[in-house]
Amino acid sequence: MKETSRLNKPAYYFVNALTITRSALALGAANYYIATRDPVIPSLIFTANLPLDVLDGYLARKYKVSSEEGARLDGFSDALNMTLGVGINVFERVPNTVAAIGITALSFVGLLYFFQMAQKDKVTMKSFSKSA
């Protein structure tokens, strides 16, 4: 992966902003579902997130702005979208409180996994630096 200082910065920021937008859309869809119990709009949002996921990866490769941070951010966004999308479908038929607790729990588990992976990367990088 390239260092951030050598990247095409406008493209780098745009691709990462697109990835962050996917996460924001997923959170908004989950909140909308919890508030209204209408699965149609969140389903459309999660469906729209799929081509956006492909687009951010394509743009990162096209403009050569792939980075470790971007890869982690994309993985987090993917995990968040999958967790919330599955959560909404699983909890479609249960009361609001249970749905809110379940989606929150699934999100928390997804975040724990993300931070565990980030910590694993740190340890790997430290041990790599010491051996070099």
| DSSP string for 85-98 | HHHHHHGGGS-HHH
Tokens of 12: 């780098």
- Indicate yes or no: pTM above 0.85: no
Tokens of 61: 């490769």
Which residues of the chain have a pLDDT value below 50?
A: 1-5, 123-129, 131-132
pLDDT of 2 reads 47
pLDDT of 29 reads 92
Amino acid sitting at position 76:
F
Eight-state DSSP code of residue 63: T
Residue 76 and residue 37 in contact, taking contact as beta carbons nearer than 8 Å: no
